[in-house]
Structures are given as C-alpha cells and as structure tokens.
Amino acid sequence: MRHFVGFIAGLLLAPVLMLGTGWTLPRFVDLETTGQSLVTTQGALAIGAGAVVALLVALVLVPPRLTPMLPGIAGLSLVGVTAVQVLRPELVARVPGLPGVEGATTLLSVGAYLPLGLALFLPMLVPSRWAGKDRAQGVSEEEYFDGLYDEDYEDRDVDSGPAHRRTTRA
C-alpha cells in the first residue's frame, strides 16, 4: 500500500516542483533586472519559495523508510517532461497558463529538470529502500553457530565411522 501511495504522491510531486521552481525564476530575474537586493520583500519571497522547493526535495530524497516510488516516479516524470520538450515542443506550448508555467517552460527548455529528475530517480535503484518494516534485523550469534554444523554431525560417535583399528594379538 505504501508503494501505491508513493506512486500517486510522486505523480503529484513533479508538477509541484515544476510550478514552484517556475514561480521563483521570474522573481529572481525581476530582482536582477531592477537591480534590487535579495533582502527586499520580493527577494525574501523568492528565496523562501526556493527554500521550500529545496526542502521538499530533501524530504523526499533523504528518509530511508520512505518508499522509493515517491521520488522515483517524480524523477521519471521530470525526465519524461524533458524528453517531451526535446521531441515534441509543441505539446509543451499547449500547457494552460498557471502561475509558474512561464518560468517552468524556460527551465524546461534549458534542460534544468533533467539533473533533478535523475537525482530523484536514483533512490529507486537502491535495494535497501524497497525493504519493508518487517525486514530481518540479522541473525543472533546462537542461530549463526547452530546453522554452521549439521545436527547429525554432532550426534555421531567418532569411533563408529570407518576408522582403521589396530588389533593387538595376544
């Protein structure tokens, strides 16, 4: 069930990341063109939005108990949108006008979402991220040594084997 929820959340995360970064890009460009400092209200809003997006990416990538479907599907979505931009750019031009779409299409056209998509996809390839809560915590020392030898080996009498016996003559 956690993988299904992670799949759905990953599908929702990709557009959120694109719109968040797309919304911040024009704000930074406006600050640069008007010559304003980052310590203004507009600069603080742009930095805050960028920090929220970065925090969201970190919260998706770092926790080891989180299903790898969430960052993996979000990463594959970002890589897929980048591929659509390269192969069929007219489809990207049809996206409805939402806040942040202009900046997202600019970032998409320069390929900025490809490294982010690959970074989000890589945790999906780590096998330890797929293990559930019930994974084995290891074998105790007693269980380890019990498994080393066959039980019949310990029960056998050493003299009962085909050993060469010396017979003494009287």
Domain ranges, ordered by start, for the chain: 2-130
Structure tokens at 134: 């019930």
For range 133-161, the mean pLDDT: 59
State pTM to two decimals: 0.67
For range 143-169, the mean pLDDT: 57
The pLDDT of residue 51 is: 92
Q: How confident is residue 65, by pLDDT bands cut at 50, 70 and 90? A: confident
Q: What average pLDDT is seen over the chain?
A: 79
Q: How confident is residue 66, by pLDDT bands cut at 50, 70 and 90? A: confident
**Statement: residue 13 has pLDDT above 70:** yes
The pLDDT of residue 5 is: 83
Phi-psi group of 6: left, alpha or beta (phi > 0 → left; psi -120 to 50 → alpha; rest → beta): alpha
Q: Where are the alpha helices (DSSP H) in 88-132?
A: 89-92, 101-109, 113-121
**Statement: residue 101 has pLDDT above 90:** no
Distance CA 142, CA 147 (A): 9
Single-letter residue type at 62: V
**Statement: residue 162 has pLDDT above 90:** no
